[in-house]
Amino acid sequence: MKRSTSTSTLIQNLPLNIPNSLPRHVAIIMDGNGRWATQRGLPRIAGHYQGAEVVKDILRCCKEWGIKILTVYAFSTENWGRPTAEVDFLMGLFERLLRVQLKEMQQEGICLRFLGELDVLPLSLQREMQRTIDITSQNQEVYFNVAINYSGRQEIVRACRHLAKLVQQGELLPDAIDETIIQQSLYTLDLPSPDLLIRTSGEMRLSNFLLWQLAYTEIYFTNTLWGDFNCEEFRKAIEDYQGRERRFGKL
Ligand code: IPE
Ligand code: IPE
Ligand code: MG
């Protein structure tokens, strides 16, 4: 599947009217959909459906508050290990959401990109993804990244292979490999690292999400299930972040 990099320069040139303490980039591990549904006596898929509604609200908050980049974990490579019916439902849901939401995302100025190994996804979903990437690529209100079939370790392996090939072809010297070059070989390309990572549902782990990019990210865990997360909960997470001192190893 063709990957679009046409938004790269736009992201580098983000306007500087963002208040200092507001995170520029928020990443979210949207967890707890199954439990949200089970609590209500509903099938797990009902939780994923509700989860999609929450994403829309959070995206609106980002636009309203001036958070420029939102990256969400929608499906991990490990999630293929779930029952086929749940996986199929999720793939269908992603495709339907893209089709139904495209017009609104376009109106709201959302620029959509996907992180992950996309070319093994159902072809009809890949087509919908590419269409969305192409149509929204010039939008600049919020850069919305969705990790689908994503693995942080696999992303690093892929970058290593890519750089090894360049060295083999004589296009790159081993000593020229530095953090910037590795970073640019990741799915996230030139996106700045997340300032804040939120994980819902009380789980306190990364589950293979953005392993390289989260090196200095502030982390916020909440017991709230993703299906119950909302603008108020999001505001609490941002306020918590704003009270922190980011030292980056310095004093
Ligand atoms: C997160 O919710 C969504 C995906 C992984 C697709 P879960 O489906 O993991 O919900 P729980 O953790 O089982 O409650
Ligand atoms: C992480 O949640 C993946 C997504 C939110 C898409 P999981 O529910 O799959 O993670 P584990 O299994 O609890 O670590
Ligand atoms: Mg889970």
Compute mean pLDDT per 10 residues along the chain, 251 residues long, and list them. 38 44 96 98 98 98 96 98 98 98 97 98 98 98 98 98 98 98 97 98 98 98 98 96 92 89
- Using CA atoms, how far apart are residues 28 and 221, in angstroms rounded to an integer? 10
Give the position, in ligand 1's atom list, of the atom nearest the Cα of 225: 14
**Ligand sitting nearest the alpha carbon of 47:** 1
Q: Is 183 in the pocket of ligand 2 (CB under 6 A)?
A: no
Q: Which of 13, 17, 20, 31 is catalytic?
A: 31
The confidence score (pLDDT) of residue 20 equals 54
Distance, CA 147 to ligand 3 centroid (Å)? 15
Give the position, in ligand 2's atom list, of the atom nearest the Cα of 205: 14
Residue of the nearest CA to atom 5 in ligand 1?
75
Residue 110 CB neighbours (<10 A): 23
The confidence score (pLDDT) of residue 207 equals 98
DSSP strands (E only) in the chain: 25-29, 69-76, 110-115, 142-150, 196-199, 218-221
Q: Is 75 in the pocket of ligand 1 (CB under 6 A)?
A: yes
- Superfamily of domain 22-151+192-242 in CATH is Decaprenyl diphosphate synthase-like (3.40.1180.10)
Can you say whether residue 248 is alpha, beta or left, with left for phi > 0 and alpha for psi between -120 and 50 degrees?
A: left
201 is in an annotated binding site: no
For residue 74, give the H/E element and its range: strand 69-76
Q: Which of 13, 79, 149, 223 is catalytic?
A: 79
Mutational test site, ligand 2, from 78, 214, 229, max ligand atoms within 8 Å of CB: 78
3-state DSSP assignment of residue 136: helix
